Structure 1
Amino acid sequence: MAQLPHLVFGGKVTDPQTLEFEDLNKVDLVGVYGSYDEAVTAWRAVSQANVDDCMTKYVVVHLHKLLEPEAQG
């Protein structure tokens, strides 16, 4: 099975309706994962740990789509 790298990161946002982070120097880089399922597991764990702070948001980025935009997957 091919590796499909995904990045999980997050931090404080200026508005919970957006992805504009307060300070990019303070973004929490959770990690890079070899599959979407692994990334979602990490995302759920860190999001659940911050569930009481509506101004903190974590996301999953499909790095493989950025690295090879012409490829399907």
Structure 2
Amino acid sequence: MSDDKQLLHLVFGGELSDLQGVTFEDVNKLDVVGIYPDYASAYNAWKDVSQKNVDSARTRYFIVHLHKLLDPENDH
């Protein structure tokens, strides 16, 4: 196994209840796009799914830096 640390990123989204915040209308309907090994891969997935939902003004997708949550003392 390589000594390189994984920099995992989660891409997910859904319909927001308010465009000014990040409260979802229904958390049971969140779309988990996937977990990616690096930011570039996550960004490409985020961009693709965001473009597919461009006509839904209340639908937003996000990239979560899982590696920062898993290892907060080593903020890469």
Same fold by TM-score, threshold 0.5 exceeded? Answer: yes
Alignment partner, residue 71 of structure 2: 68
Q: What is the Cα-based RMSD across aligned positions, in Å?
A: 0.8
SS of match in other structure, 2:50: helix
Structure 1 residues 1-73: aligned runs within 5 Å = 1-73=4-76
Tell me the amino acid that sits aligned with residue 42 of structure 1.
Answer: A
| TM-score, normalised via structure 2 length | 0.91
| TM-score, normalised via structure 1 length | 0.95
Question: What stretches of structure 1 move > 2 A for 4+ residues in a row?
Answer: none
Larger radius of gyration: 2
SS of match in other structure, 1:54: coil
- How many angstroms apart in 2 are the aligned matches of 1:31 and 1:3? 15
8 Å CA contact 1:8–1:31 kept in 2: the answer is: yes
TM-fit CA distance, 1:18: 1.2
Structure 2 unaligned residues grouped into runs of 5+: none
Count of equivalent residues = 73
